[in-house]
Structure 1
Amino acid sequence: MHKRIYLLLLTACLGIVSVPTPTYSQALLPYTPKQDPQSLEDTSKSLLRQAAGLVQFQQYEQAIPRVALATQLSPNSNDAWFFLGTLYVQTQKYQKGIDALQQAKLIKPQDPDILFMLGSAYFQKGEHQKAIDTIQSGLKIKPDNNSALFDLGNAYYKLNKYPDAIAQYQKAVNKDPKFWPAINNIGLVNYEKGDVNGAIQNWQRAIAIDPKAAEPLLAVAVALFTQGKQAEAYTTAEKAIVLDSRYANIQYLKDNLWGDKLLNDTRKLIQTPRVKDFITKAPSRG
């Protein structure tokens, strides 16, 4: 989900980053602008450009006060509010993000990117029905957005509306057959519904698209372990952990929408002496 937000954050920077690079060592000093509208507008744009430069170096916390000041100087700029809202969501300040994105929506209610980002913010905050309603509004305007379809599927999944979730994931895959995260999440749904073989098939499809995707590899390992195929499960799990050691962390898996059944079975696998020892010795990657 964070990669998705980061891409939207970069979208917010488009058209801003072509200006000279700011001096990043300077603190943001109090500024008293001239009161004519053009001066305020110019100062706002300068602050947004500085913030866009900081975002390129993932210095989100330093970017926020600049963008916040830009919204005060140009309160009718939907770009500034969208940028601020996306920064807040990226830094997990979800309610502040929602408030800023609502301001952007008031200014430009039919902008699908604003609606998609607002839906993502609701999702991150755990307000899944609001996420569904907001993303659907955006899809009415821009129906071919794969990432939004994926986010919509995730919101349905969190509400245990499995057929609706699969339908949205499948729409995303139909538009882009190589969009493996949607295929992976169909596997997550399969597993929670008790269709282990179907889950394995979808995870293997995802791996075929991206052999370095750690998530479906570990999921396959867990499924194999439950089927009693321990040797294959161990080697597959070790491959996944080498690719990205974060997937050995249960909370990280939960954050990535792994359901209760899959999490319970994952705990059993990673607590086996062999995998537990491997996790301890494995280099930290991801």
Structure 2
Amino acid sequence: MGLWSGGQTVQAQALLPYNPELNSEQLEQAGLEMAEEAIQLMRFERPDAAVSRAELSTQLAPERFQTWFILGSLYLQGEEIDRGIEALKQAQTLAPEEAVIRFTLGSAYFEKGDYQTAINEINAGLKIKTDVPTAYFDLGNSHLKLGQYGEAIKAYQKAVSIEKNFWPAINNTGLVKYEQGDLTGALKEWQAALKIDPEQAEPKLAQAVATYVQGKKTEGLKLAEAALMIDGRYGDLEFLRKNLWGDKLLANTKILLDTPEMKAVLLRVQSQPTEETK
């Protein structure tokens, strides 16, 4: 392709690569395609390669918000929160009308522990796009972390009003009500979540704790065993805390998990082979 002209033979000279002249539109398109490749690489669990592709895509198409948004999202998945926020802010500057950027920034600030800024970003996104249940769910979680229980419940209820089978929002409404001292109300929420998906370990274990506290110990132990057989991670109090379980619920969960029956269940669960060792 243009390396030689005529039929002359070139002696003792390295072949020079052909460098096509690409215009800005071609470079931009190449950058967008590279960003798509980054997404595919992440799906194939190749995070380092995905980030490298995404970083290069921002160099090829620096004026397209998509490249910065994908890069920021990949940084967040790799727990590089500050770098993720920086890239997402660049995306937001380029496309202030894109609600998804605001929502993702809200998630980033939540992970950073800056819950008020998370609320501000999510609310800014909801002014642009009002019908996103996951955004209301994240908003509720941020209010929950600040102890703003009434606002948290409102946000969760809004999520469910948009998507009636959104069980995580129903489950977290139960978490709030338990901390408020409304044990009966919390139980109703967890039972409603389990009607949607009976095989979810979190509402099942929460229901088990509340049932045990009510004095129905045999039933509570049975429910707890069933929950832990679904997902043994829920036997770890720190894991529960990360899933927004409050102090009251955690204290009562500890009482349940410290029983001889539940200790035996936990030993059995921990001895089971994981998917990686099967």
TM-score by length of 1: 0.84
Q: Deviations over 1:69-104 (max 9, x none)?
A: 111222111001110111111222111111110000
Q: Cα offset for 1:111?
A: 0.4
Indicate the residue corresponding to 1:155 in structure 2.
142
The answer to whether the aligner puts 1:236 opposite 2:212 as a matched pair is: no
Question: How far has the Cα of 1:38 moved from its partner?
Answer: 4.2
1:61 CA displacement:
3.1
Structure 2 counterparts to residues 201-212 of structure 1, below 5 A? 201-212=188-199
Cα separation, 2, equivalents of 1:208 and 1:91: 34
Provide the rounded CA distance (Å) in 2 between the counterparts of 1:89 and 1:33: 36
Structure 2 partner of 1:28: none
Q: Distance in 2 between matches of 1:62 and 1:266?
A: 42
RMSD: 1.8
Question: CA 1:33/1:83 → structure 2, altered by over 3 Å: closer, same or farther?
Answer: farther
Structure 1 residue aligned with 2:202: 215
For the Cα contact (< 8 Å) 2:32–2:66, is it kept in 1?
Answer: no
User: For the Cα contact (< 8 Å) 1:67–1:83, is it kept in 2?
Assistant: yes
- Comparing 70-79 and 125-134, the one that deviates more: 70-79
Residue matched to 1:78 = 65
Q: Which residue of 1 aligns with 2:54?
A: 67
CA separation in 2, counterparts of 1:285 and 1:77? 42
Question: Which one of the candidate residues 119, 136, 140 is aligned to 2:123?
Answer: 136
Distance 2:72 2:251 in 1: 35
Structure 2 gap ranges (5+): 1-18
Spell out the pairing of 1:119-134 with structure 2 (5 A cutoff): 119-134=106-121
* Letter aligned with residue 241 of structure 1: L
Residues 1:167 and 1:78: Cα distance change in structure 2 (over 3 Å)? same
| Residues 57 and 37 of structure 1, relative CA distance in 2, 3 Å threshold | same
Query: Match of 2:164?
Result: 177
TM-score by length of 2: 0.87
Structure of greater Rg: 2
Tell me by how many angstroms 1:185 deviates: 0.6
Aligned-pair CA distance for 1:276: 1.2
Please give the alpha-carbon distance, in whole angstroms, between the structure 2 residues aligned to 1:182 and 1:212.
16
SS at match of 1:110: coil
| Equivalent position of 2:95 in the other structure | 108
Correspondence list, 1:15-34, <5 A? none
Q: Distance in 1 between matches of 2:32 and 2:129?
A: 28
Q: Structure 1: where are the runs of 5+ without partners?
A: 1-31
Q: In structure 2, what is the equivalent of residue 270 of structure 1?
A: 257
CA distance in structure 1 between the partners assigned to 2:211 and 2:86 by the alignment:
45
CA contact (8 A) 1:33 1:39 kept: no
Instruction: Tell me the SS of whatever aligns to 1:215.
Output: helix
Report the number of matched residues: 255
Mapped contact 1:245–1:285 kept (Cα < 8 A): no
Match of 1:199 in 2: 186
